[in-house]
A and B are shown apart, each in its own frame.
Chain A
Amino acid sequence: MKILVAVKQVAALDEDFEIRADGKDVEEDFLLYDLNEWDDFSLEEAMKIKESSDAEVEVIVVSVGPDRVDESLRKCLAKGADRAIRVWDEAIQGSDAIAIGQILAAVAKKEAPDMVFAGVQSSDQSYASTGIATAAYLNWPHAAVVADLQYQPGANKAIIRRELEGGMLQEVEINCPAVLTIQLGINKPRYASLRGIKQAAAKPIEEVSLADIGLSAGNVGADSSMSRVRRMYIPAKGRAQMIEGTLAEQAAKIIQIINEFKGA
């Protein structure tokens, strides 16, 4: 039995940052990389199933990204994931969430897992669509914002609770295999033990090319995506200002501002 957990290395912004020369992203020197917060919960949910099962359960983490992503995958291995797969090709650069979903679906087809977990969203891009796009490419049932899961490995159905507006929960029975996007708070993610970290350092990370999963450069990248980033920018701040001084001075200043607007 296999559970495939899609994870992402996300970029957090430094307090003060600079926009890249092409205006489409933040300059990389100002980005701090870490595993997406939601993915910690997805992995923990998979680990819980693995540890409570009598049958053998293999937890595989997969991510799409360059070499630096290995650090996040090792974090997952240190927490107990059995294998880690990283898909990368320079052609993937600029892919939107749907194109990434296509890549993840291709990995899932190759690995044939019984379940695919992903985070509800990534903290840096917030599309909240990668998991759902993966399900669409697999033509599998899916459920978003899963706050509780009851699932026996190998079962053909799972009971999930989805988080809705106003504190409501929706209980759903879903056919398996399925793609679930996991919500924060569904469990309490563990810290990796020092022993786990040392062992993870020695574990291999499987590097997979587009060709290995039956895709080509033409399937991915900005040109093949259905959406493309045009620019990233900080909107101009409002023009509010504090008017200091005595009441008389404040009144005089307001009159002056009004006159300036009127062109007087």
Chain B
Amino acid sequence: MFALNSDKDLVDKAIKNGDIYAAAAVYSIAKCEQREVLEGIMFAKRRDALALARWEHTPAEVLNALSIKNNSDVGIVLRLDKNQNTPALAISTLYGLENGQVKRNTSFTVLIAQHRHTPINVLEAIVKFVDDIEVLKAVSKNPVANAQVLGLLLNRVAHSSVYEAVAKNVAANPSASADLLSAIYSYADYSQADDCQAGSSLRVAVLKHENCPQFLIRLAEFNVADAAIEIQRQLVKDSRLSLQALASLVASQDKVLRTGLAANLAAPKMLIKQLLKDESPLVRRAVAARADLTVSSIKYLISDKDHWVRQWLARNPAVSRKVLEKLSADPHADVRRAVARNSRCTNALLSELAKDEDAWVRAAVAYQKNATKRLLEALAEDADIDVLSGVANNPHTPQRILLKLISSLEADIRRGVILNRKAQRKTLLSLLEDSYYLHRLMLVNSTVLKDSDKWPLCDDPDFQVRFTAYQYFAKKYQTFTKNI
């Protein structure tokens, strides 16, 4: 029975349960003396402590406690270093043990250098004081390293043989600033005489970066016709490239380059018209997916011999209903399916496609958000699992049909009902006892079920369901406490 008066009651229940996962779920709301008892449950056996240190869902507070209480166990430390949930505080503690009880080897420091929660001051210390190249490379790839740390790192390796490798990682790091990218680009220019290919790959990495300054794009496009193919391929995708530079690349022999150009939304209609008739289907597929297709281009592509081109066209929301109607009679089922998935597909067309001989096409109709109640009622009589899964997922499906589908033997169909945002409480209630644990787990966070409905899940036979249920109630108390 659901009868909780306080967060203490919930923690007491978890303590009584004696399960390490229930204990982990409520740890963050436990008071000091309760925490000690919970730690006894979670960490007394090495096997359990190892399991929690490794598990990707272990709450940060528990991992932090492990980093303090069990940091002399190398097995635990290794798992904490690897666990992406380990919080910044724990990472600092573990790094601070460098010269303490746990004698680290380089591979442990690499894990800290690449961890997404490593604090900036720790990364800075690593860059300043650690000599190992693999550790420094790990920092260069870490997206939490800021521009200052990355700058320090580049200075540190400035005269070393690994500069290029580190610079390439920095150029791919989202934190790299425009200044750093400019410096790397300049280096690539100077190094070109020594190793042309390495210089090109560095410049490509810089040009690909979101923070790449406009002047570097201008500089690169100045010699675009003579540039290495990798640089041309990158530049041609950039919407900042001048029309003149784009036009100079349209006749390239390289189909990857032409595909990039066809996908560039800044490319003018004149160039797209040229690419429409490209010999490579890859290029024509990219054209067919463009949102700014003209009527004449659509008319040309509708009869393309490559079915992928027609499929991209059928998915394109820019095409008219009349074009969709024509494509709905395509001999290739994937094209008809694409029509059924198009948001502009009419009810009349959906009704036709609902009778398609191919189950994948009918399934696309069942998933279509424009499908009417009547159409879904008809599709609910289908025998195919994918079609019925679509009906179960669709928010327009009547509740009485959803109620029928929850007794399906196919887990995919029942899961469709759980995922249906319009499924009502009375529909979902019996799924709380579904044989597939994942379904019960998904229902813990349902917004239509009451807390009293979810409460029995705290005693579920599956540890993941128990953990999620306890965590759900713990969060409720946390929010409640914050509000008062």
Contacts and interface: CB of A to CB of B under 8 A. Distances in A.
Answer whether A and B are interacting partners. Answer: yes
Interface of A: 14-16, 18, 28-30, 32, 190-197, 244-249
B198 interface: yes
A20 to B, nearest CB: 14
10 contacts: A16-B75, A29-B50, A29-B75, A30-B50, A30-B75, A32-B51, A244-B165, A245-B165, A246-B161, A248-B194
B54 A14 contact: yes
Given A244-B164, A246-B195, 10 more contacts: A14-B50, A14-B54, A16-B78, A190-B435, A191-B435, A191-B436, A193-B435, A194-B433, A194-B435, A245-B161
B195 A247 contact: yes
A246 B165 CA distance: 9
B47 A29 contact: yes
B437 interface: yes
B161 A249 contact: yes
B31 interface: no
Contacts of B51: 32
B162 interface: yes
Contacts of A191: 411, 435-437
Nearest to B74: A18
Interface of B: 45-47, 50-51, 54, 75, 78-79, 82, 133, 161-162, 164-165, 191, 194-195, 198, 411, 433, 435-437, 460-461
A234 B435 CA distance: 39
A16 B77 CA distance: 11
A197 B195 contact: no
Contacts of A15: 54, 82
Secondary structure call for the B interface: helix
Nearest to A195: B433
B446 to A, nearest CB: 17
Nearest to A31: B47
A27 to B, nearest CB: 9
A248 B164 CA distance: 13
Contacts of B436: 191
A30 B75 CA distance: 9
A192 B164 CA distance: 56
A195 B198 CA distance: 64
Contacts of B461: 194, 197
In the A-B complex, the 9 residue pairs with the smallest Cβ-Cβ separation, listed nearest first, are A245-B161, A191-B435, A29-B47, A193-B435, A246-B195, A197-B461, A249-B161, A194-B433, A247-B195
A114 B452 CA distance: 48
Contacts of A32: 51
Nearest to B432: A194
Contact of A18 (B75, B164, B165, B433): B75
A9 to B, nearest CB: 15
B194 A246 contact: yes
Contacts of A196: 435
A30 B48 CA distance: 10
A248 B54 contact: no
Nearest to A198: B461
B79 A16 contact: yes
Contacts of B46: 29
A247 B194 contact: yes
A246 B164 contact: yes
B407 to A, nearest CB: 13
Of A193, A195, A244, most B-chain CB atoms within 10 Å:
A244
Nearest to A30: B50
A251 to B, nearest CB: 11
B124 to A, nearest CB: 24
Contacts of A194: 433, 435, 460-461
Given A29-B47, A194-B461, A197-B461, A245 B433 contact: no
A192 B435 contact: yes
A16 B50 CA distance: 10
Nearest to A192: B435
Contact of B433 (A14, A193, A246): A193
Nearest to B199: A246
A13 to B, nearest CB: 12
Contacts of B435: 190-194, 196
Contacts of B191: 246
Nearest to B437: A191
Contacts of A192: 435
A190 B409 CA distance: 10
Given A14-B50, A16-B78, A30-B50, A244 B433 contact: no
A68 B82 CA distance: 29
Contacts of A28: 47
A242 B348 CA distance: 61
B191 to A, nearest CB: 7
Nearest to A253: B161
A191 B415 CA distance: 14
Contacts of B194: 246-248
B156 to A, nearest CB: 15
Nearest to A190: B435
Nearest to B410: A188
B136 to A, nearest CB: 12
B440 to A, nearest CB: 8
A249 to B, nearest CB: 5
A232 B196 CA distance: 49
B50 A245 contact: no
A143 B219 CA distance: 72
Nearest to B46: A29
A247 B47 contact: no
Of A30, A32, A194, A195, most B-chain CB atoms within 10 Å:
A194
A194 B443 CA distance: 15
B162 A244 contact: yes
B186 to A, nearest CB: 16
A246 B161 CA distance: 7
A245 B194 CA distance: 11
Contacts of A248: 194-195
A246 B50 contact: no
B47 to A, nearest CB: 4
Contacts of B433: 193-195
A244 B161 contact: yes
